[in-house]
Chain A
Amino acid sequence: MDGAAPEPSSEELARRARAGSKEAFGALVERHEASLLRFLRPFAPSAEDCEELAQEAFVRAWRKLEHYDPAQRFSAWFFTLARNLAISRLRVRRPDVQGAHGVQGEAALAAVAVECDPAVQAARREAGESLWALADRVLTAEQRQALWLRYAEDLSAEEIGAVLDKRAVAVRVLLFRARENLQQHLETRPPGGARAASAAGAGPAGDRWRALEALS
């Protein structure tokens, strides 16, 4: 029998953090850092900006923990808070962004995506990108975020809708189109290209692309 105690859930950690435990909050930061950085990527033109935004989101979460209801999924609450923060920062940086939601929010995300360095994107492409890097390249920001919240955070359509300020039906459509779009790009990818050559080597990237080859 395994004597190791099971890891506490994020909700339990948040409950402890709310009672004042900075250690528990530190565990939450470690657990959600990678996911948050990817989620916030569309809002920040550079990795440094993204990390700064993520740090601010964590600090704000600490300050607002008293408003968190442990009955709610922590990641849903936290990503909502982070997205609202990111949009408010975006509005400060780009005064033409008037609203935080809907079409204006999408336009703001698209504007930031354009600001990303194309050379970096091209380098990623050449380097044998991962499935999520491909998603970065071919999906809209909202599609990527919805897809990430679904497959990395296991949130329901309703929870994703709460984070992205959309109705559950709209989230289902968003996810369907994201999957469809991703699937099309995987199917039209030329077999045996430079990436396939690199994927032939050992390592998780090679395994990943071999698995995706089977889709087409």
Chain B
Amino acid sequence: MTDTHADHELDPADPLSTALRRAAAEERAQHTPRLAARVAAALDAEPAAPAARAWPWWSLAAAVLLALVAGGLWFRARPDAGGATGGAPAVVEEHTPALDGAPQRARAAVNPATWTRGFAPEASLTRELSSLTRDTQSTARFLLGHVRLGPAQRGS
């Protein structure tokens, strides 16, 4: 290999340096390799190549565990879950075709001006309420509790 880190003050071109290099090269050349077979036999008993062992099982398990913990934290902290960082639960606006117009119909049920003969406001209101979402229902129950329908308004 080329010496890219030559220290010229350590490596003077004197006979001693030359002799040391030459003697080292001779010693290596005269050496009979005998460890290669023994090392190869020892390596055969090794479980896997280094690259395959670069990611041991525990690191994979740790990665999965970390992903689960991160997912759990995100799930708890998402805004609509009422997590610590999410503040108050947000109202989810869902478009449900069956509920289209339900608030309007509920308002009509409690508005005497819209009643016609034979109209049963309470039954109508109950029917409309049953189709509303829970939040809307609770609002409507509140309204029911405050709307007092007198006999004159019930129709006859």
Q: Which residues of A contact B (CB under 8 A)?
A: 9-10, 17-22, 25-26, 29-30, 33-35, 37-38, 51, 54-55, 58-59, 62-66, 73, 130-132, 147-148, 150-152, 154-159, 172, 175-176, 179, 182-183, 186, 204, 208, 211-212, 214-215
Contacts and interface: CB of A to CB of B under 8 A. Distances in A.
28 contacts: A25-B43, A29-B39, A33-B31, A33-B36, A38-B27, A54-B35, A58-B35, A58-B39, A59-B46, A62-B39, A65-B50, A66-B50, A66-B53, A73-B1, A130-B26, A131-B20, A131-B23, A132-B23, A151-B20, A152-B24, A152-B25, A159-B5, A172-B7, A172-B10, A186-B16, A214-B15, A215-B15, A215-B19
Contacts of A155: 5
Q: Give chain A's interface secondary structure class.
A: helix
A212 B42 CA distance: 42
A148 B24 CA distance: 8
B54 A208 contact: no
Given A18-B50, A183-B16, A34 B23 contact: no
Interface in B5-52: 5-7, 9-11, 15-28, 31, 33-36, 38-40, 42-43, 46, 49-52
Interface residues of B, number: 39
B39 A59 contact: yes
B19 A212 contact: yes
Given A18-B50, A150-B10, A157-B7, A10 B1 contact: yes
Q: Give chain B's interface secondary structure class.
A: helix
B15 A211 contact: yes
A183 B50 CA distance: 45
A55 B39 contact: yes
Contacts of B46: 59, 62-63
Given A20-B51, A51-B34, A208 B23 contact: yes
A64 to B, nearest CB: 8
Given A34-B27, A152-B24, A59 B43 contact: yes
Contacts of B31: 33-34, 37
Given A157-B7, A215-B16, 8 more contacts: A29-B35, A33-B34, A35-B28, A37-B35, A62-B50, A73-B1, A131-B19, A156-B5
Contacts of B9: 172
Contacts of A172: 7, 9-10
Nearest to A148: B24
Contacts of A18: 50-51
B94 interface: no
B93 interface: no
A175 B24 contact: no
Of the listed residues B7, B40, B46, B51, the one surrounded by the most CB atoms of chain A closer than 10 A to its CB is B7
B123 to A, nearest CB: 77
A131 B39 CA distance: 30
A208 B26 contact: yes
B135 interface: no
Interface in B130-152: none
Contacts of B52: 20
Contacts of B38: 55
Nearest to A68: B50
A37 B27 CA distance: 11
A216 to B, nearest CB: 10
